[in-house]
Amino acid sequence: QEDLAIKKLKFGELALEKELFRVIKALSGDEGAVSFESKIYAGYYLRHANFKAQIDQLSDTQLFRKDASFKVV
């Protein structure tokens, strides 16, 4: 899994993509929040964990859903 995250964050040829993420309703269900799903790796989401941003495969847990939801301010 770490190799996958490294490949996605080292854009290289991926930098040619216009958009890397699809903005969707927050996985947490929170009003005014969004989640970011990878357009290249379906089912993988931007999340924060251990004070770092990373891309992980969807896990059906409350913690993951909250970590993968961002409040728009």
Residue whose token pair is 């909250």: 66
State how far the Cα of 37 lies from the Cα of 35, in Å rounded to an integer.
Answer: 7
Task: Report pLDDT digits (tens) over 24-46.
Answer: 999 999 999 999 999 888 999 99
- Identify which of 71, 7, 73, 59 has the alpha carbon closest to the alpha carbon of residue 34: 71
**Quick one: pLDDT band at residue 72, thresholds 50, 70, 90?**
confident
